[in-house]
Amino acid sequence: MFRALAVLRVVVLGYTVVVNVYRNNYDRPVLGWSCVAIMVVATFVLIAVYAAPERRGPALLVVDLALAVAMLLATPVAKGPWFHATIPSYWIVGALLAWAVRWGWRGGTTAAVLLGAVDLLTRSHVEQKDWGNVFLLLLGGSMVGFVCESLKAMAAERDEAQREAAAAAERARLARVVHDGVLQVLALVQRRGGELGGEAADLGRLAGEQEQVLRTLIRSQAAAPAPVGASTADLAVALGVLGARPGTEVALPAGVVPLPREVVSELVAVVRACLDNVDRHVGDGAPAWVLLEDLGDAVEVSVRDDGSGIPEGRLEAAAAQGRLGVAESIRGRVHDLGGTATLDSGSYGTEWTLRVPR
Amino acid sequence: MTDRIRVMVVDDHPMWRDAVERDLQAAGYDVVAVAATGTEAINRFRATRPQVVVLDLQIPEPSGVEVTATVLADEPSSRVLILSASGEQDDVLAAVKAGATGYIVKSASREELLAAVRRVARGDTVFTPGLAALVLGEFRRINEPETPPGEKLTDRETEILKMVAKGWEYKQIAERLVISHRTVQNHVQNTLRKLQMHNRVELTRYAIEQGLDEDEDG
């Protein structure tokens, strides 16, 4: 902003010098030309001093404005009380805009009021064009100040956003490195533990569970930037947690699978019920597989075990006794979500397919 | 033993590198090289030309995905088996698109690892249920009307991939669908081939777009 102002200063200086040479109507030429010389020197000194941001303090701005005021005050002395145009002419906008850039609309307006007042008070007669010029000073000072303030606020917001994004990316990178290291060790403990057997095997199993938990955590963090608001949740992350059950493999698509929060918790509860059933009928920690598919207009979750299947007639027997079996409960809960639950059972095992429309 | 399978192990964790190397050697594989970084991996691959690369994806630059693409461009007959701890889905998918034909997680047992190396060396694909679900999801994502049939899965391929994702083994799938084990294997391989094909087509399309842009500037 101050760089653009530097260019403007040179332009208005050029105009001022040309106008003064053209008019050359001083009562006291020595004083008048000294003023012009001061302005030439001051312009370049000011540009040089303003170039460094740390020097743009109140002192510099006050000096800048004081110089402009001094030039205005020198005018009646050099030109006599009946002058038309001030010596500095448009040169004073340099100081005005410096104030506007530095202190916003308040700075711009203050400088404009001061310069305008000095200009009007030094004249022995005020013409309509002088009022017009002062009005322009006020308008320019306040508007440029206002715009500068907005621009600065926007730049600050943008910088803040960029800083936050960079910090988040760095945090994510560090987390990946740390997590990867921990996962490597957990996986190794799990593997060697299993090979050694005995107590080491228990340690290995614990490591495996923790590995699963950490993996789920990483996934939920990676999914955080996705549009998952308060009313929706990620079914993939929620199902991933179920991998903590021994022998369970949860297969998920890449990315998030957003669904209403209550649908997610109900579906997870149903899948958990299916897995409990595996524990009960096939054996504690018997192998089970959970697959989630995002079909666009619906989601499909399948839960499979490789047990010996449900003996024929058992479900019917349960119904005949008036008992609401687990199977009926699963069907009912999925039905309440507007979906369907189908059961496939045979010598190859049992598989539930839960399909819920979006 | 001249027909021992030549393997390279790439992992930046010494303990894992040693463990995998030891297991492979004990099982009769010829571990011709180990590497801890992407650069080492590429250089040592060129020097030793192993048949199978057992590769951790999280290694110092260049990444495991880039290593996969580079070594397979150098020697298309080699095979890459991804052995990953964190299983970052995007990376796994990218590595498979780059040509890796196997993926197994580090928590798998030694027997599973050895079986995976053996199968990958034979030219088979090694899919975990997790990878099958990723690939399935990827095909659902790219399945649009304008996708050419050569880059889409057939119903049979989808069915088989889905069964793999639900934890069925190839042998069980063959029995259930009354087809040969080889046929199941071929279907699974086809899904990978199509995914890699789609990836190449996308890369080419991207390259052409970039090229056209340059022409406009020139």
pLDDT tens for A231-266 read 888 888 888 888 777 888 888 888 788 888 888 888
Residues of chain A found within 8 Å of residue B165, distances taken between Cβ atoms: 251, 291
- Phi/psi of residue A51, nearest 5 degrees: -60, -35
User: Could you tell me what percent of chain B has a pLDDT over 90?
Assistant: 2
A325 band by pLDDT with thresholds 50, 70 and 90: low
Residue B121 sits in the same domain as residue B206: no
> Same domain for B105 and B154?
no
For residue A162, give how far its alpha carbon lies from the nearest alpha carbon of chain B (Å).
25
Pair (B45, B57) in one structural domain? yes
Q: Of B126, B156, B181, which residue sits at a domain end?
A: B126
Q: Give chain A's mean pLDDT.
A: 83
Confidence of residue B217 (pLDDT cuts 50, 70, 90): very low
Evaluate the CA torsion angle B62, B64, B69, B75 in order and state its sign.
Answer: positive
Q: Does A349 touch chain B (CB under 8 A)?
A: no
Q: Is the pLDDT of residue B88 over 80?
A: no
B108 and B18 share one domain: yes
Confidence of residue A324 (pLDDT cuts 50, 70, 90): low
Q: How far is A304 from chain B (nearest CA, A)?
A: 7
Least confident of A217-231, A279-293, B186-200: A217-231
Instruction: Based on the fold, state whether residues B119 and B21 are members of the same structural domain.
Output: yes
**pLDDT of the residue at B216:** 46
State which residues form the domain around B184. 127-218
Rounded Cα gap, residues B119 and A79, in angstroms = 101
Residues of chain A in contact with residue B176, where contact means CB-CB under 8 angstroms, are: 348
Say whether pTM exceeds 0.90. no
Task: Please state the rounded mean pLDDT for residues B177-193.
Answer: 87
- Most A CBs within 10 Å: which of B18, B22, B107, as the mutation test of the A interface? B107
ipTM value: 0.79
pLDDT surpasses 60 at B213: no
Choose the closest CB to A187 out of B85, B137, B165. B85
Cross-strand pairs, A290 = A250, A303
Mean pLDDT across B28-40:
87
**Which element (helix H / strand E) includes B198?**
helix B181-217
DSSP letter string, A304-336:
EE-S--PPTTHHHHHHHTT---HHHHHHHHHHH
Mutate one of A190, A274, A291 to test the B interface: name it (highest B CB count within 10 A): A291
**Each residue of B193-206: pLDDT tens digit?**
888 877 777 777 77
* Domain CATH for B5: 3.40.50.2300
Determine whether the interchain pair A180/B85 forms a contact, defined as Cβ–Cβ distance below 8 Å: yes
- Which residues of chain B lie closer than 8 angstroms to A252, CB-CB? 89, 130, 133-134, 137
Give me the residue from A190, A253, A302 closest to B134, CB to CB. Answer: A253
Put simply, the answer to whether A253 touches B109 (Cβ < 8 Å) is no
Confidence of residue A320 (pLDDT cuts 50, 70, 90): low
- For chain B, say whether A216 makes contact (Cβ under 8 Å): no
Domain ranges of chain A: 2-162, 228-358
Same domain, B177 and B100: no
Residue A249: list chain B partners with CB under 8 A. 128-130, 167
Mutate to test the interface with B, among A249, A304, A350, A353 (most CBs of B within 10 A): A249
- Residue B62 and residue B143 share a domain: no
Angle at A222 between CA A216 and CA A223, to 5 degrees: 90
Q: Does A234 touch chain B (CB under 8 A)?
A: no
Q: Which amino acid is at A75?
A: T
Residue B51 contacts residue B76 (beta carbons within 8 Å)? no
Provide the pLDDT confidence category of residue B87 given band limits of 50, 70 and 90: low
Check CB contact under 8 Å for B110 and A191.
yes
Q: Is A265 helix (H, G, I), strand (E, B) or coil?
A: helix
Nearest CA to CA, how far is A115 from chain B (Å)? 52
Band of pLDDT at residue B212, cut at 50, 70 and 90: low
- DSSP, res A300: E
pLDDT at A226: 47
A206 — pLDDT class (breaks 50, 70, 90):
confident
Residues in chain B within 8 Å Cβ distance of A181: 13
Judge if B184 and B217 occupy the same domain.
yes
Q: What does the pLDDT average to over A38-48?
A: 89
Question: Which CATH number covers residue B214?
Answer: 1.10.10
Question: Is the confidence at residue A74, as pLDDT, over 60?
Answer: yes
Work out whether the CA dihedral A97, A103, A109, A115 comes out positive or negative. Answer: negative
Q: What is the dihedral of CA B184, B189, B194, B196, to 10 degrees?
A: 160
Cβ under 8 Å to B: A residues 266-305: 287, 289, 291-296, 302, 304
B29 and B107 belong to one structural domain: yes
Where is the domain boundary, B126, B152, B178?
B126
- Whether the ω angle into residue B129 lies within 30 degrees of 0, i.e. cis, is no
A280 to chain B nearest CA, in Å? 20
**Tokens (6 digits) for B68:** 């996969």
| Cβ-based burial of A130 (10 A; exposed 0-12, middle 13-18, buried ≥19) | middle
Contact A351 B88 (CB under 8 A): no
- Give the per-residue pLDDT at A327: 76
Interface of A with B in 57-86 (CB under 8 A): none
| Residue A324, CA atoms < 13 Å, CB-side half-sphere | 6
Pairwise CB contact (< 8 Å): A252 & B133:
yes
Average pLDDT over residues A337-353: 86
Which chain B residues have a beta carbon less than 8 Å from that of A176?
58, 86, 88
Segment A122-169, tens digit of pLDDT:
887 788 888 888 888 888 889 988 998 898 889 999 998 888 888 887
Q: Strand order of the sheet with strand A288-294?
A: A248-251, A288-294, A298-305, A349-357, A340-346
pLDDT cut 70: percent of chain A above it: 93
Residues of chain B with Cβ-Cβ distance to A255 below 8 Å are 89, 137
Q: Give percent above pLDDT 90 in chain A.
A: 2
Residue B180 has pLDDT above 60, yes or no: yes
Contact residues, chain A, for B107 at CB < 8 Å: 186-187, 190-191, 208, 211
Q: From chain B, which residues contact A within 8 Å (Cβ)?
A: 13, 15-16, 19, 58, 85-90, 93, 105-110, 128-130, 132-134, 136-138, 140, 162, 165-167, 172, 176
Helices (H) then strands (E): counts for chain A: 10, 7
What is the residue type of B56?
D
Q: Do B102 and B42 lie in a common domain?
A: yes
Does residue B129 have a pLDDT over 80? yes
CA distance A250 to chain B (A): 7
Average pLDDT, chain B: 83
Res. A115: pLDDT tops 50: yes
Residues B119 and B191 in one domain: no
Residue at which a domain ends, from B126, B158, B185: B126
Q: Do A254 and B140 touch (CB under 8 A)?
A: no
Reduce the DSSP state of residue B61 to 3 states and report it: coil
Residue B106 has pLDDT above 70, yes or no: yes
CATH architecture of A228-358: 2-Layer Sandwich (3.30)
Query: Quick one: CA torsion of B161, B163, B166, B171, rounded to 10 degrees?
Result: -110
Indicate yes or no: CB of A187 within 8 angstroms of CB of B107.
yes
Q: Are residues B89 and B61 in the same domain?
A: yes
Size of interface A-B (CB pairs under 8 A): 101
| Number of separate domains in chain B | 2
Side chain identity, residue A245: R
The pLDDT assigned to A323 comes to 61
**Mean pLDDT score, A224-236:** 67
β-pair type (A288-294, A298-305): antiparallel
Task: Mention every residue, 6+ apart, whose C-beta is less than 8 A from residue A259.
Answer: A232, A233, A235, A267, A299, A356, A358
